[in-house]
Every structure is written in C-alpha cells, then in structure tokens.
Amino acid sequence: DAKTTQPNSMESNEEEPVHLPCNHSTISGTDYIHWYRQLPSQGPEYVIHGLTSNVNNRMASLAIAEDRKSSTLILHRATLRDAAVYYCILSLGAGGTSYGKLTFGQGTILTVHP
C-alpha cells in the first residue's frame, strides 16, 4: 500500500484557517486521497476525498498538487469542535469505486485554541 506522511501535531486558533499537509510521493494513478478525522472517543468520520482535482464540500477543501505527490486539507474557519486526529489515507480505486480497504497512519493531532 502506498504510504502517507503527516506532521504529528498542529495547532490553530479558533476561527482561523488551518492547512493540514500530507505527503504521498509513492501514490499510483488509481489511488484516491481520503481524509478522515477522529474526535475523542468516537469512530473516524469521513471528511473529503479526491483523485486529481481540488474538491470542496461543506466541511473542508482538498487541494491536490499537480503531480499528486502531496495534498492539503483546508479547514476554512477552525472551531473547537474541529479538534481531532486527522488522517490522510490512500486507497486503491478503479472505475470510480474504491477497493475499500483504508490504511490509516498515525495522523495529525489538531489542537484548536479558543
């Protein structure tokens, strides 16, 4: 499985934007880039995913480098409820679907200060 590299931790202030980086230099052409987050004492929660183009949804934006070897999750205005572990994950996809298995790393612990 292709691997991702994320900083162990990041800090932000409430209502400021947060940019969470992820390196995935061994990504293959059919790998999707997923972001999940895990709040304390909860199961992971889907945030966003993309293949080649930048993506936006109600939770966040995903900026994917042109060579796809890195990506950045952008939280436009951090709130205290965004404090969580954020995981950048690659999964094999083909024909518009994913083979399903998610390989989580250790993720980035995001601390949001009031």
Among positions 67-86, residues that touch other proteins (CB under 8 A) are: 85
As given in the structure block, the two tokens for residue 51 are 């293949």
Q: Judged by CB under 8 A, does residue 102 bind other proteins?
A: yes
Q: Judged by CB under 8 A, does residue 32 bind other proteins?
A: yes
Q: Judged by CB under 8 A, does residue 46 bind other proteins?
A: yes
- What distance in Å separates the CA atoms of residue 106 and residue 5, rounded to the nearest whole number? 9
State the pairing for strand pair 9-13/108-113. parallel
| Region near other proteins per CB under 8 A, out of 9-17, 22-30, 62-70, 98-106 | 98-106
Contact 51, 97 (CB under 8 A): no
Q: Judged by CB under 8 A, does residue 90 bind other proteins?
A: no
Q: What angle do CA 35, 39, 71 make, to 5 degrees?
A: 20
| Region near other proteins per CB under 8 A, out of 10-18, 39-47, 61-69, 71-79 | 39-47
Q: Which residues lie below 8 Å from residue 39, measured CB to CB, with a gap of 6+?
A: 45, 81, 83, 84
List contacts with other proteins (CB under 8 A): 32, 34, 42-46, 49, 85, 87, 91, 93, 96-98, 100-107
